[in-house]
Amino acid sequence: MPNDKVTNEDLARMMQNEFSTINEKLDGIKEDTRVLRSEVESIKIKLEDLELRLSQMAPNFEVEDLKKRLSAVEKKLGIS
């Protein structure tokens, strides 16, 4: 077994390499987080728009009821 000694300079280089690797990974995570936040914000805007549109629409059962009632009125008036 060789008697390899790690010098302070070797240790400093190893630590610097590890810190560089960690920083690269953190930068990647930050970018992923930025992209996800942007996508979530886009989804929130689309959801708010959809909720606004739905709130302005009458429920389907009300529309069907009104169609039946209108048909009955048209039938009584002789309008088809």
Q: What is the pTM of this model?
A: 0.53
* Residue 64 host element (H or E): helix 60-77
Q: What is the pLDDT of residue 3?
A: 64
Euclidean distance between CA atoms 58 and 56, whole angstroms: 7
Q: In angstroms, how far is CA 80 from the centroid of its own chain? A: 49
- Gyration radius from the chain CA atoms: 34
Distance CA 78, CA 72 (A): 10
Cα 30–Cα 35–Cα 39 angle in degrees, nearest 5: 145
Q: Mind listing the pLDDT tens digit for each residue in 11-54? A: 999 999 999 999 999 999 999 999 999 999 999 999 999 999 98
